[in-house]
């Protein structure tokens, strides 16, 4: 019985260690042009934390490359 409990526990731990913590995130981007701020929220559904950070950084990079002024984005 102990052996079955041990194997079951080990299998459960293995399964849990391979699942990821995906959540919904919102990337809030604020663009400032000539002292006027505009804010836009970007939904990032079902993302891992690292992936959400990278996506938000891309929004910031795209905003700074395409629009006048300065864009800052944060989760």
pTM strictly above 0.85: no
pLDDT of 73 reads: 98
pLDDT of 67 reads: 74
CA-based torsion, 30, 33, 38, 43: positive or negative: negative
Mode of pairing for the β-strands spanning 70-74 and 36-47: unpaired
Does residue 17 carry a pLDDT above 60? no
The DSSP output letter for 21 is: -
């Amino acid at each position: 019985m102990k052996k079955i409990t041990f194997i079951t526990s080990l299998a459960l731990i293995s399964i849990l260690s391979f699942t990821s913590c995906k959540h919904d995130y919102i990337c809030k981007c604020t663009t400032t042009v000539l002292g006027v701020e505009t804010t836009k929220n970007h939904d990032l559904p079902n993302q891992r934390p690292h992936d959400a950070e990278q996506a938000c950084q891309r929004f910031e990079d795209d905003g700074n490359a395409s629009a006048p002024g300065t864009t800052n984005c944060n989760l």
